[in-house]
Every structure is written in structure tokens, then in C-alpha cells.
Chains A and B, each alone.
Chain A
Amino acid sequence: AQSVSQHNHHVILSEAASLELGCNYSYGGTVNLFWYVQYPGQHLQLLLKYFSGDPLVKGIKGFEAEFIKSKFSFNLRKPSVQWSDTAEYFCAVNGPPGGKLIFGQGTELSVKP
């Protein structure tokens, strides 16, 4: 069965530090890939998505992610985090596209001011 794995359960960073959150998936065919964010007390929002084309995708609030097909990975990055980035981040995969959206376990990011 398809699965999504996020490497870090809880990440703690200071403001201005760089961020990379790992995500790997198990589906071998064509996939659509997503990162969602859930800020404290708010509902799940789309951060960015990859369907096809340039494997480096940019999302909102300075986030970007790189799809590496050979590694079945879709890691999320941000060069300099802010306190307001404190949230839970979920990687999700549609494989095949249009099928079920499967979520990783989530990574809680805490940014210290």
C-alpha cells in the first residue's frame, strides 16, 4: 500500500535558521505531491504542490520544495524561518493523480524568537 514518511517528528529552530523537512513516499508511478501547513488553532492550508514540470516548486511565505523522482522524495525548504512559521507541516501524496490523498505523520516546527 502507498505510504508517506516524514523524517522528523519535531523540529526546533531559532529565527533566521534554514529549514529542511524530509518527505518520502512509496508509490512507484506518477504522483501529485503536496505540502500542507496547520498553524496553531487554524485549519489545514495548502503550502505548495507539484503536479509536473520543474521539480523545484515555490509556495507561499517563501517556502519551496524539490521533487526528486529517483529518491521518491519531496523535501520542503525555507532559507530563513520566522517565528510565525511555527506550525505543523504535512506532506501528502496522490498516487496515482486523482486517487486518494495520503498524509505523512506530520512535523511540528517550533521557531524560537
Chain B
Amino acid sequence: SAVISQKPSRDICQRGTSLTIQCQVDSQVTMMFWYRQQPGQSLTLIATANQGSEATYESGFVIDKFPISRPNLTFSTLTVSNMSPEDSSIYLCSVRTGSDGVQYFGPGTRLLVL
């Protein structure tokens, strides 16, 4: 298994600003992902964070809006840029361990944009 921490746990931001969310894992993992969970909805994959190369974004998500860094095998950041109220959501970091093929999730960052 993997233990994942995220910072901040929640934030209230003004529209037009940016927020960077950090994800730290207690072990080295090959695959890290970022998801969004909008109020009352399911989880949507934003991107796969690749170590040492650019992230792979899903349809509807672009690097300019959600830049991602992955400097090593235990850490990643997601930035939500030029925020609008529609970005209010829970952002979740997830990792897949090679040993059991299961994906584990962090506690999430609850973002409210005013």
C-alpha cells in the first residue's frame, strides 16, 4: 500500500489567482495521477504525472490551466491557474503501486473559488 499526504487540505481563493497543491507519497511509485471530484459528482482524471517528462493530460484538461510537476518518484504538484468559481472542487492525488496494481488516493484538497 501507499500513504499519501496532500497540502493544503483546503483553501478559499479569489478568482484569477493560482493555487499549487502538493502530493507526497511515503514510497517510490512509478505512476502518479491527479483527479478532480466536483460537488456531487464522480472522479475525473485530469492527468498522469510522469517523472522526468511532461504530464499526460486527459481530454478537456490543458497544461496551461493545470501545470503539473513531478521532480522525483515520491512527489508531485498540481497548479490550478487563473481560477474561476467553476474550478471549485476536490483535487485528489493518486498513486499506483507496482506490487499489487491497486490505485491509492490521498485525502484531497478542497478548493473553493470566490
Inter-chain contacts of B33 with A (CB < 8 A): 101
State whether A90 and B102 are in contact (beta carbons under 8 Å apart), knowing that A43-B107, A44-B92 are contacts in the complex. no
Tell me the bound Cα distance from A100 to B31 in angstroms.
11
Q: Which residues of A contact B41 (CB under 8 A)?
A: 105-106
CA distance A25 to B104 in the complex (A): 21
Query: At the interface, yes or no: B106 with Cβ under 8 Å from chain A?
Result: yes
A32 near B101: Cβ-Cβ < 8 Å: yes
Give A79-109 as 1s and 0s: 1 = Cβ < 8 Å from B's Cβ atoms.
Answer: 0000000000010101001101111111000
Query: Contacting A101 at CB < 8 Å: which of B103, B106, B107, B108?
Result: B103
User: Given contacts A43-B106, A43-B108, are A97 and B101 in contact (CB under 8 A)?
Assistant: yes
Q: How far is the CA of A102 from the CA of B101 in the complex (A)?
A: 14
What are the residues of chain A within 8 A of B12 when measuring CB–CB?
Answer: none
For chain B, the count of residues having a C-beta within 8 Å of the partner chain is 19
Considering the complex, which residues of chain A in the window 44-69 have a beta carbon less than 8 Å from any beta carbon of chain B? Answer: 44-46, 49, 51
| B7 CB to nearest A CB, Å | 14
- Majority SS at the chain A contact face: strand
Give A59 Cβ to nearest chain B Cβ, in Å.
12
Pick the residue among A45, A90, A98 that contacts B43 (CB under 8 A): A90
Count of A residues near B, CB < 8 Å?
Answer: 21
Given B42, B45, B105, which contacts A106 in the complex, CB threshold below 8 Å? B42
Indicate if the CB atoms of A105 and B102 lie closer than 8 Å: no
Of A43, A46, A51, the most chain B CB neighbours within 10 A belong to A43
Q: List 9 A-B contacts (CB under 8 A).
A: A32-B101, A34-B102, A43-B92, A45-B105, A51-B101, A92-B103, A100-B58, A105-B41, A106-B42
Query: Bound state CA distance, A32 and B33, in angstroms?
Result: 17
Interface readout for B22-62 with A: 1 if CB under 8 Å, 0 if not?
Answer: 00000000000100000001111100100000000010000
Whole-angstrom distance between the Cβ of B112 and the nearest chain A Cβ: 17
Give every chain B residue within 8 A of A90 (Cβ-Cβ): 42-43
Nearest-neighbour CB distance to chain A for B80, whole angstroms, equals 19
Please tell me which one of the listed residues B45, B92, B101, B105 contacts residue A100 in the complex, with CB atoms under 8 A apart.
Answer: B45
